[in-house]
């Protein structure tokens, strides 16, 4: 592992003054192209740990502040997007010594039209940078095009979108998540039983960015493994519990051989509750993330496992990397894009709630 360098050591290696290195690192003052290239060459091949708190002191002397806009789905307390917001807020508090003004604009994760309106509001703001949830691909791509034109940097949480240029993206590998969901469902569901994929109904589009990737990966797992499993698909209402219960009851009645139900979204507890209300034989249920509703179902044994994507860490890292870019003018190479994934059962649930 490379040793972390000091500013003095970088100056010596680049053959420039300490002051020049300081101006490059803090993106202030004039630096000749040759000196900039020399310092950047050292940074590209060596390890230097930036200190956001130390940089905040110099930044405050300028009497400026960063205006950061955040647009993510709205969420009830303890649900997935609330956990991301908690991570964002934790980072804003951690770096409170940097002058920051934040503005949240929320949208409905089940309504692409709501996202479109929220992103229009973001595009009209005078801001330093933006943090975005990438639930809807085309809406995200259009907003990023406008931000690129204005030279406003942005960071993604919970996804990636091709054709965009974020400073950083934070997410779990969605292809891996889909394959892992399939492997667990296949292993836990008895042979001869069918599997079901239950998806939420959305306005404007049926699948979110991540759901589409997970769904494809789930099916690819069985094709590649040549596993003979019948997979049923259906949609359910997220707005009405009564309608949802009736839809799932009708689905299970139509396909009595379904022995395992996979939720590709973080509100799997809605499916678990509906299945429990139907009664009947035990069915394996798997879903995503250690949310309050999912935890309750795992404890009640109406849900068998969760794949945790650490949404709080995604939010925290998004703020940290964005501040790094705003202060130094370069992406932070020390932060990884993909978050680690954990598999949670009832037996190891304790201690995993954020």
Mark whether 274 and 236 lie in a shared domain. Answer: yes
What the block records as the tokens of 181 is 């969901």
Q: Determine, yes or no, domain membership for 278.
A: yes
Mark whether 180 and 245 lie in a shared domain. Answer: yes
Listing DSSP states for 237-271 in one string gives -SS-HHHHHHHHHHHHHH-TTEEEEEE-SS-HHHH
Torsion angles phi and psi, residue 226, rounded to 5: 55, 40
Q: Determine, yes or no, domain membership for 354.
A: no
Mark whether 164 and 178 lie in a shared domain. Answer: no
Q: Determine, yes or no, domain membership for 145.
A: yes
Quick one: pLDDT at residue 2? Answer: 44
Ordered per-residue pLDDT tens for the chain, 354 residues: 345 667 788 888 889 988 888 787 766 678 888 888 888 888 777 666 666 766 665 666 565 789 999 999 999 999 999 999 999 999 999 998 888 999 999 999 999 999 999 999 999 999 999 999 999 999 999 999 999 999 999 999 999 999 999 999 999 999 999 999 999 999 999 999 999 999 998 887 667 889 899 999 999 999 998 888 999 999 998 888 899 999 999 999 999 999 999 999 899 999 999 999 988 899 999 999 999 999 999 999 999 999 999 999 999 999 999 998 998 887 877 677 898 999 999 999 886 654
Alpha-carbon gap, residue 354 to 341, rounded angstroms? 14
Residues 326/153, Cβ–Cβ less than 8 Å: yes
Q: Determine, yes or no, domain membership for 99.
A: yes
Q: Determine, yes or no, domain membership for 21.
A: yes
Residues 136/205, Cβ–Cβ less than 8 Å: yes
Residues 52/353, Cβ–Cβ less than 8 Å: no
Structurally, the chain folds into a number of domains equal to 3
Mark whether 98 and 130 lie in a shared domain. Answer: yes
- Distances from the Cα of 239 to the Cα of 90, 218, 243, 302, angstroms: 30, 26, 8, 21
> 269: closest CA among 248, 292, 251?
292
Torsion angles phi and psi, residue 268, rounded to 5: -60, -25
Q: What share of the chain is helix, strand, coil (3-state, %, to 5)?
A: 45, 20, 35
Mark whether 149 and 257 lie in a shared domain. Answer: no
Mark whether 178 and 74 lie in a shared domain. Answer: no
Quick one: pLDDT at residue 96? Answer: 87
Mark whether 178 and 149 lie in a shared domain. Answer: no
Please give the DSSP secondary-structure letter assigned to residue 348: G
- β-pair type (231-236, 168-170): unpaired
Q: Determine, yes or no, domain membership for 58.
A: no
Mark whether 232 and 300 lie in a shared domain. Answer: yes
Mark whether 266 and 335 lie in a shared domain. Answer: no
The CA-based angle 106-337-320, given to 5 degrees, is: 60
Q: Determine, yes or no, domain membership for 344.
A: no
Question: E strands, the chain, where?
Answer: 66-71, 100-104, 129-133, 154-157, 168-170, 194-200, 231-236, 258-263, 284-288, 305-308, 342-344
Mark whether 184 and 205 lie in a shared domain. Answer: yes
137: CATH: 3.40.50.2300
Q: Determine, yes or no, domain membership for 351.
A: no
Quick one: pLDDT at residue 267? Answer: 92
Supply the angle between the helices 80-94 and 311-328 in degrees, to the nearest 10: 40
Asked which of 268, 293, 308 is the last residue of a domain, the reply is 308
Mark whether 246 and 167 lie in a shared domain. Answer: no
Enclosing domain of residue 334: 63-171+311-339
Mark whether 39 and 164 lie in a shared domain. Answer: no
């Amino acid at each position: 592992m490379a040793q972390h360098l000091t500013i003095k050591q970088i100056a010596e290696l680049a053959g420039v003054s300490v002051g020049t290195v300081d101006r490059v690192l803090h993106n202030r003052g004039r630096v000749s192209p040759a000196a900039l290239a020399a310092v950047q060459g050292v940074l590209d091949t060596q390890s230097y740990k930036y200190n956001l708190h130390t940089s905040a002191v110099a930044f405050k002397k300028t009497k400026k502040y960063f205006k950061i806009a955040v647009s993510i789905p709205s969420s009830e307390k303890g649900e997935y997007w609330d956990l991301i917001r908690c991570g964002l807020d934790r980072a804003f508090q951690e770096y409170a010594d940097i002058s920051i003004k934040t503005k949240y604009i929320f949208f409905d994760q089940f309504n692409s039209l709501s996202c479109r309106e929220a992103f229009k509001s973001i595009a009209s703001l005078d801001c330093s940078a933006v943090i975005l949830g990438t639930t809807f691909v085309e809406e995200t791509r259009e907003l990023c095009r406008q931000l690129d034109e204005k030279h406003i940097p942005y960071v993604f949480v919970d996804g990636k979108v091709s054709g965009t240029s974020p400073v950083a993206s934070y997410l779990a590998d969605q292809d891996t998540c889909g394959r892992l969901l399939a492997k667990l469902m296949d292993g836990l569901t008895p042979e001869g039983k069918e599997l079901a994929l239950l998806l939420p109904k959305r306005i404007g589009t049926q699948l979110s960015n991540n759901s589409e990737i997970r769904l494809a990966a789930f099916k690819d797992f069985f094709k590649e493994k040549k596993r003979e499993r019948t997979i049923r698909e259906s949609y359910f209402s997220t707005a009405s519990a009564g309608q949802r219960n009736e839809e799932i009851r009708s689905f299970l009645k139509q396909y009595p051989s379904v022995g395992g139900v996979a939720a590709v979204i973080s509100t799997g507890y809605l499916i678990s509750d509906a299945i429990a209300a139907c009664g009947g034989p035990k069915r394996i249920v798997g879903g995503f993330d250690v949310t309050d509703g999912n935890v309750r179902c795992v404890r009640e044994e109406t849900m068998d496992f969760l794949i945790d994507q650490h949404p709080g860490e995604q939010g925290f890292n998004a703020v940290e990397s964005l501040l790094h870019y705003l202060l130094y003018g370069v992406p932070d190479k020390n932060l990884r894009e993909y978050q680690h994934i954990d598999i949670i059962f009832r037996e190891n649930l304790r201690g995993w709630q954020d």
